Amino acid sequence: MSHVLASLDSRCWELQLKNDVMHGHLALLQKVQKVVNQCQIARQADEELLRRLQSLCDELRAQRVEAELQLVEIEGDNRRTTDRMREELVERVNRCLRNYTRLEVAVQDRITLRELEIRVADLISGDSRSRRRVAKRLDAFQARSRDAIANLKAEVTAVLRRLGLRSRAEDWSGRDVVRGRPSHMRHSR
């Protein structure tokens, strides 16, 4: 009997060891299961976050496309406005140049008329002192007229440069004063 008891004790001892090992495995398995559950919860949270981020990215892409379309539209509006303003500016400059040319011709006509008046007066008066006085007046009048034309040229050139029309300003500053009467006025009666 003692042999049976020893065998049973040994068997009981083995079963106790196996039971302790099984409890250790079970505790470890429960910990692993808990970690797996936490990982699944974390994965689900990550997937939800990924879905939200994807949705946000899609929304931002749509907003970017809309912003690009608005930018294209605004750039087109700006280009049209710039073109319109440039055309208006060119028209104003051309009008200014035409008016300046008319003024230049009118001044030249007045100078020519004044010269003729002085010559007639000189021929009528006949004395040398009167002629000298007339010549001085004529010289003074011509000097004032040249100064007025030079000032007008400088003003037009400065305006053209301020408007960014540098090549026109250079062309304009190099122009000679129109001499004589314009051809369309010479032939009129």
Return the closest-CA partner of residue 176 out of 80, 101, 78, 79: 101
**pLDDT at residue 115 in the model:** 77
Q: Which two tokens stand for residue 185?
A: 């006025």
Q: Which two tokens stand for residue 27?
A: 């505790």
Query: Of 133 and 99, which is predicted with more confidence?
Result: 99
pLDDT band at 34 (very low <50, low <70, confident <90, very high): very high
pLDDT in tens, 63-85: 999 999 999 999 999 999 999 99
**pLDDT at residue 185 in the model:** 39
Q: What percent of the chain has pLDDT over 70?
A: 80
pLDDT band at 130 (very low <50, low <70, confident <90, very high): low
Contact 180/112 with Cβ under 8 angstroms? Answer: yes
Contact 152/106 with Cβ under 8 angstroms? Answer: no
pLDDT in tens, 148-188: 878 877 877 777 777 777 666 566 555 554 444 334 333 33
DSSP secondary structure code for residue 189 in this structure: -
* pTM of full prediction above 0.85: no
pLDDT band at 36 (very low <50, low <70, confident <90, very high): very high
